Chains A and B, each alone.
Chain A
């Protein structure tokens, strides 16, 4: 666990970057620090690996004050990923990834062998191992940056706007892989972003900072969307927070109606499309019990007949949901 204990950072110029922040980042979880620019989120992150030291207060890792530890040794146990990856231009992809293992005393050969495995783990073609950073795309560089931070298997990862410098399509892919990796690895992650959607998507815990370096609210994404502490948080999480909160509920409890006759099925019972007078129109997608209510809502709205089709594990249609059923369910959900 990483603990901020009444941390203050005042710069010599007089600006207060972080103002009496106390915060706990649970072990094995992703905590996202989010807020407008100049809110102290990056300063806070950089106090964990002592790139910045607090003016007062303490930052502790598992109860140990980081200020009491050897800087270099502390940092070798904390992975660090930044916006433009910060790769070493003079080293190949493989040697970039092998950096920290070599630093802690592994032989170059051992470190390289391990690095090769890591490249695959972050979704990079091992054929890229011999390339230099200048030969990679932005998204590839970012993956190398993540692999490099993971190389010494540190229990803690700090990520400063790791996905901001890539285009939305690439970012979407990186998000998916981040969630998959974190499911496997269970690192204690502190991530900084200015993007509330990214925070809600990736964070187990989200800490919202406001200008002046104070904490506005800390909670799970569900808590922040359902119950913002004040007007600032409500505005920051956005006007469509109600709709987004549907992402966290699955369709498991959503009652379905029997499959109507005008849904055309193939031999195995899989939906083909809706029969109209002289043509069949595609359903536009289906959902399963594990999908989110947000997806179901989306399907119902987009469907040519206003009906979302549920399928079982075998892909066969086993029920449908109409707009009215959805509204009734949301109504019941609200009052429960």
Chain B
């Protein structure tokens, strides 16, 4: 495996870079799109249940079907990485819109009431109070979405764009185990590192959650 890595470091690094880009760009885009949608699902109470249902349906579309179907819908080339980015963004929105809504709904009504009574206007209350208090729930969803995306990118290899997944297809075509092993190990490592980074961010931005339930 070491010799394989030495001889193919260019290919493997390119695959890793593509894998990171294909997995994380959708996380960022999906998060930005999910925020307003999730907020709407709380602000307009009757929208919450339809939102949850639509998200569930979207997430249940098989990824391969979406990869193949999107070029038809978007007019992109079948080999364009854009298909993967759009497909994974849809999954991310499906996961996170609900998480954002649940996070905002988890904020204690008394906290919102006292913020209002102290003279917060709606937008500042959302930014200063509701979102920060909802952050633990939202970040937990972000971890799931990130890890799911990292694993889903590999499926793209079946249509020719799949980051580390291409190492699997190549290995199968050549009846050669090394690239498959390298692909598996690197994508697991990538998922673990990404998850760890989010956990560290979570610790840094929500120090107060560590004391929940520990009354002095």
A interface with B by C-beta (< 8 Å): 49, 51, 72-76, 78, 80, 82, 84-91, 99-100, 103-104, 131-132, 134-137, 148, 158
Contact = CB atoms under 8 A, between A and B. Distances in A.
Contacts of B114: 80, 82, 85-88
B160 interface: no
A90 B133 CA distance: 6
Contact of A131 (B110, B135, B216): B216
Contacts of B59: none
B215 A137 contact: yes
Given A88-B114, A90-B133, 14 more contacts: A51-B113, A51-B116, A51-B117, A82-B114, A86-B114, A87-B114, A88-B133, A89-B212, A100-B118, A134-B208, A135-B215, A136-B216, A137-B216, A158-B117
Contacts of A76: 118-119
Contacts of B113: 51, 82, 86
Nearest to B118: A100
Given A134-B211, A136-B215, A88 B119 contact: no
Nearest to B109: A86
B120 interface: yes
A84 B110 contact: yes
A134 B214 contact: yes
B132 to A, nearest CB: 5
B53 interface: no
Interface string B110-127: 110111111111001000
Contacts of A86: 108, 110-111, 113-114
B190 to A, nearest CB: 31
Interface residues of B, number: 26
B213 interface: yes
Among A73, A75, A90, residue most surrounded by chain B Cβ atoms (within 10 Å): A90
B111 A80 contact: no
Given A88-B111, A90-B133, A90-B206, A134 B215 contact: yes
Interface string B84-126: 0000000000000000000000001011011111111100100
Given A132-B208, A134-B211, A134-B213, A75 B116 contact: yes
Contact of B214 (A99, A135, A158): A135
B155 to A, nearest CB: 38
A88 B208 CA distance: 10
A74 B120 CA distance: 11
A118 to B, nearest CB: 15
A330 to B, nearest CB: 46
A141 to B, nearest CB: 9
Interface string B123-163: 01000010011010000000000000000000000000000
Those 7 A-B pairs whose CB atoms lie nearest each other, nearest first: A86-B114, A76-B119, A75-B119, A80-B117, A86-B110, A132-B208, A72-B119
Contact of B118 (A80, A90, A134, A135): A80
Nearest to B110: A86
Contact of A88 (B115, B207, B212): B115
A192 B125 CA distance: 26
Contacts of B215: 134-137
Contacts of A88: 111, 114-115, 129, 133
A99 B213 CA distance: 23
Nearest to B129: A88
11 contacts: A72-B121, A74-B119, A75-B116, A76-B118, A78-B117, A88-B129, A103-B124, A131-B216, A132-B207, A134-B211, A135-B216
B201 to A, nearest CB: 15
Contacts of B135: 90
A66 to B, nearest CB: 13
A99 B129 CA distance: 11
Given A82-B114, A88-B115, A89-B111, A134 B120 contact: no
A80 B114 CA distance: 7
A185 to B, nearest CB: 18
Nearest to A137: B215
B124 to A, nearest CB: 8
Nearest to B135: A90
A136 B119 CA distance: 25
Contacts of B117: 49, 51, 75, 78, 80, 82, 158
Given A72-B121, A88-B129, A134 B116 contact: no
B119 A73 contact: yes
A86 B108 CA distance: 8
Contacts of B121: 72
A72 B206 contact: no
